[in-house]
Chain A
Amino acid sequence: MSQVLHPIEKKIINALKETEKLNIEELEQKTDLSSDQVRRGIEWLKLKELADVIESQETKHNLSSSGSEVLKSGLPERKLVHLLKEGPKSFDEAKQSLSESDFHAAVSNAKRNDWITIDKDDSTTKISLKVQDPPQSAEEKVLQEINQGNFDQNALYHDKSQHEKLVGYFRLKKLGLIEEIVKKSKTISLTEKAKDIDTSQTDLAEIDVVASVPATFVARAHPLKEVINEIREIFASLGFTEVLGNFTQPSFWNFDALFTPQDHPAREMQDTFYIKDSVADKIASPNQIKQVSKSHKLGWRYNWSIEEAKKMVLRTHTTCVTIKYLADQKPDEARIFSLGRVFRNEKVSYKHLAEFNQVEGIVVGKDVTLRDLMGLQQEFYRKMGLPKVKFWPTFFPYTEPSLQSMVYNERLGKWVELFGMGIFRPEVTKPLGITKPVLAWGGGIERIAMLKYGLDDVREFYNNNLGWLRTAIQCQ
């Protein structure tokens, strides 16, 4: 019979031909393979029905540290015997020589062994030896055998004459003098089929092409980063240029410049991360500050405070980056985008993160329209592989009109809300000297990435679970 065998398998077969039954450790020694290799080899042989594996359990006994001491100094009853060899003793005398606890054990065990007699008269109780040199007790025999390594507990169960020794064994165990160690082992032997194999005759040029192999994991960029990169590429391909900005921002650019009143709930600590004891030094040009302040006073009728605008926050959207770019550059025509982390003081759950990625695209131009904004969305989603898109009205504080886009997800079988969009309100653009209409659109990236990777829990992206990072399918 021709059988393709791995060198590991051959070594194991050869060893078992020499010695019929071996355990793993013995196989390691005989074959010079690592324990991992032996285990793998055995698994393969088992699958090919060339090896039998019998799992067995072996109980070994050792003396505990107190057991070893007792072996040297003798059990309490033996100590008592030595004492009585000098002649009969009263209880008090014996107690003095032995310790209190030893004394009680010594008397009751010696009595059971029939080594001593106790005589009571009116005043005293005398203990004396029955035999001058009592033989080894069952306990002592067990201790000795364990120490010598020839104790066989199983034999005791099967031999009625050994009953006393078994009782002695349990007593010693209860006293904590002996320890029981259970060792599981596998005994490997060859099957009949394997015995016929001539390992020297199997073709050395052949290898087992069917056998399973250990997994290799490819190193890779993070799956979310791949989606982010894809989105960046799509924006660039649509003519958008990327602008970057800091994660930490003065409230001015994150809120005030976007016409969010200073008492708006979104600005409260329960929604926004404020940085402790951090105030921006210079937030904007004097004119920008003046105009924004004026627009707030006029539009929201309250006393706008520059101190509030100076408070540093972790940006809650990337719009703070794009609005600052527009306010500083005042382009008549532009296509820009900003992508990066944003922060919300939210309880983290399967659908909310405190820190996530957002992308925002901006189009400035004298003739841009709401329909253009819808068209850009549709094109973006088409490029992302999401062809079914519809639009619904919605509300955003700094755009008017505002829409939200819904895309159809085949896996979930339903419409999913994705990016929001709108045209910047004049209350936002006018004070900053932006005169042309500004289309803005964007949203969270993790939502899209969840659709792409079929995830239902957004936290998976930041768990860094290697099991997932190493196996998430790259081409979705």
Chain B
Amino acid sequence: MPVVTLYLDRLQRLVGKTSKEKIISAIPFLGLDIEEQTNQYIRVEYSPNRPDYATDFGIAAGLQGLLGIKKGVVKLDVKRGPYQLKADQSVKKIRPYVTAIVAKNGNLDDETIRQLITLQEDLHFGIGRNRKKSSIGIHDLDKIEFPIRYTTAAKEHRFIPLGSETEKSISEILENTEVGIQYGKLLENAESVPIILDAKGNTISFPPIINSALTTVSTSTKNILVEVTATDKNTAEDTLSVVAATLQNAGFLLTSVQISGANNTTPSLKTKKMSLGVELANKILGLKTSSSVILAALKKCRLDALPKRNSISCTIPRFRFDILGPMDLIEEVALGYGIENLKPTLPQSSAVGQKNIVTKQLDLLSKIMVGLGFTEALNSSLVSKNIQYGMTNRDSFGFIQVVESKSQEHTILRDMLLPSLLDTLSRNVHEQYPQKLFEIGTVFSADDTIKEELSLCCISAHKDANYSEIKSILQSTLKTGFNIECETKTSTHFCFAKGKTADVIAKNSKVGAIGEIDPAIVENFKLRMPVVAFEIKLSGLIFN
């Protein structure tokens, strides 16, 4: 989850009349997790559904509500401006939607610029789906001649990209720059790419890859143009609304940009209305409170609310697109009411609970194994191919693999438990012998579909370990636990030594294998003791 750094002096200034202590203790009640705390700053993690909390401006607005300093909706006040942006038909195929807004007469200090960059990055990653769905460009308005045009350009098109001193062609940017390589694939090798040009023909932006150096924002920038390009119109406006709200909170005056062409229109950043039933809110939260209490709670969450018969009419700012319906409003009521004021109640139930029958049987089996002197080990279901196949000297085919595992230790689903237990022994050679271990776990096999079965593996290593010992354990386990008789029939198995292994037969079918571990495998695992083991499938044997 994304993290934002909040400098306490600055945050206190933004929130207004309150103490830092009050701010810090209120932060978790906005749904923000404090990750790190020093005297100067705190680092908080916010939920991706609240991108307006990506900056201290948004968090300050939330805190003002919760601390009762300012309540109700922060309305976006957009003045009509002379600015025009026109989209060409050619963008339809590649990145069809564009939207923009102008923010004027503001002040940018270093920290504000840093906050805006974090906001931009988090929006790119979150609702922008790594710039695929939407991406943002923030520009110095005074470097731009209007009207501007959203169009496409060939790969030979040249301009000076942000962070460069010389002109580069689109191809060079895509092939030789870090952002080009990282995000170029979003353009899917299209012959022409999206581009924003101003009236003089200067390139402003090459979305979703990079802005031009010409319009770079600095601490001397007073007026800003924000443009968003997207594959979905709603996402474009969602994204723009968050940046617009943040800039307004930062002291800028919002001014509209008229947008036209290729099904694009000037964005409407109006609030939306939603109705919430008083009874529903009380029912879900377990409260019996009046509509005025609910109203007050909603206002503390920076929403507007008016009573309307048995319900409440709520006004929701454009950037709160996380609010989809009444349940989201009820959460706002809970936050405004104060989670700490909701007293837990224990609901009565006549239901009789119970563990699953399979779980019960496994518990019993575990108790029997412990009674027989075996200690339980736990290994992962996702194992390494080397231990499962290489170390047990068998050909690796037919295994079930996961895609792009971050760890070499966890790449395939195990088809038997024994290799992991051999590995366990191998990592404990310095511990006192005898070592007797068992594991009960799921094993996987692939046919048309993936089959999951429960398996029991039992292993014993000490200087006198032998076949009779482990066979006796096997028989005793099945007989005492489940009244199952089993036989052993001469066989061969890759894990066990020739002439010292058998199939385990129970209920007229083969359920597993037993034997002395093959000396070559004992050697592979660097074990210095004889090892005997059995492994049997429990599914079909003690469960149906």
Which residues of A are in contact with B by a Cβ distance under 8 Å?
Answer: 215, 217, 219-222, 224-225, 229, 232-233, 235-244, 246-248, 263, 265, 269-270, 273-276, 278, 280-281, 299, 301-302, 312, 314, 333-335, 341, 343, 345-348, 354-355, 363, 365, 367-372, 374-379, 390-395, 397, 400-403, 417, 423, 425-427, 437, 461-467, 469-470
Contacts and interface: CB of A to CB of B under 8 A. Distances in A.
19 contacts: A219-B369, A221-B367, A233-B355, A240-B351, A242-B355, A248-B413, A248-B450, A275-B450, A276-B402, A354-B405, A354-B407, A354-B410, A371-B343, A372-B345, A395-B47, A397-B49, A400-B331, A427-B324, A464-B437
Given A248-B452, A312-B450, A347-B407, A237 B428 contact: no
Nearest to B347: A372
B285 A370 contact: yes
B427 A463 contact: yes
A374 B342 contact: yes
A343 B403 CA distance: 13
Given A237-B353, A426-B325, A464-B377, A369 B409 contact: no
B335 A240 contact: no
Q: What 8 A-B pairs are tightest by C-beta distance, nearest first?
A: A369-B286, A395-B47, A371-B286, A401-B331, A374-B344, A375-B344, A239-B351, A236-B353
Interface stretch (B25-33, B261-269, B505-513): B25-33
B183 interface: no
Interface in B260-294: 283-287
Given A222-B376, A263-B129, A367-B283, A276 B401 contact: yes
A244 B358 contact: yes
Contacts of B97: none
Contacts of B448: 281
Interface in B192-244: 232, 234
A335 B355 contact: no
B501 interface: no
B24 interface: no
B347 A347 contact: no
Nearest to B235: A301
B352 A239 contact: yes
B378 A464 contact: yes
B330 A400 contact: yes
Contact of B284 (A232, A427, A437): A437
Given A393-B335, A401-B334, A462-B380, A370 B431 contact: no
Interface string B338-369: 01101111110111111110110001001101
Contacts of A375: 344-347
A240 B347 CA distance: 13
Nearest to A338: B356
Interface residues of B, number: 91
A328 to B, nearest CB: 16
B346 A372 contact: yes
A457 to B, nearest CB: 15
B199 to A, nearest CB: 34
A60 to B, nearest CB: 28
A347 B450 contact: no
Contacts of B352: 239
Contacts of B372: 219
Name, among A238, A241, A464, the residue most crowded by chain B CB atoms within 10 Å (CB to CB): A464
Interface in B377-434: 377-382, 400-407, 409-410, 413, 424, 427-428, 431-432
B436 A467 contact: no
B373 interface: yes
Given A236-B354, A241-B354, A354-B380, A393 B325 contact: no
B378 A225 contact: yes
B376 A221 contact: yes
A220 B370 contact: yes
B339 A393 contact: yes
A392 to B, nearest CB: 5
Contacts of B334: 370, 393, 401
A434 to B, nearest CB: 14
A242 to B, nearest CB: 4
Contacts of B31: 392-395
Contacts of A369: 283-286, 345, 347
B232 A314 contact: no
A107 B504 CA distance: 76
Nearest to A382: B346
A346 B47 contact: no
B359 A302 contact: no
A120 B451 CA distance: 94
Contacts of A470: 375, 431
B442 interface: yes
Contact of B403 (A215, A232, A275, A377): A275
Nearest to B129: A263
A441 B402 CA distance: 28
Contact of B345 (A269, A343, A345, A371): A371
B407 A348 contact: yes
B493 interface: no
A232 B359 contact: yes
B534 to A, nearest CB: 17
A14 to B, nearest CB: 30
Given A354-B382, A354-B410, 12 more contacts: A219-B371, A222-B377, A244-B356, A244-B359, A247-B381, A301-B234, A312-B450, A314-B402, A371-B343, A375-B345, A417-B33, A423-B327
B50 interface: yes
A346 B402 CA distance: 13
B382 A219 contact: no
B249 interface: no
A343 B344 CA distance: 32
B432 A217 contact: yes
A19 to B, nearest CB: 32
Contacts of A215: 432
A370 B347 contact: no
A274 B370 contact: no
A233 B354 CA distance: 8
B444 interface: yes
Contacts of A365: 347
Given A363-B347, A371-B343, A379-B346, A466 B375 contact: yes
A16 to B, nearest CB: 30
Nearest to A355: B380
Given A225-B378, A273-B382, A462-B380, A376 B346 contact: yes
B424 A464 contact: yes
Contact of B400 (A241, A275, A374): A275
A469 B375 contact: yes
A281 B401 CA distance: 18
Given A220-B375, A377-B344, A464 B427 contact: yes
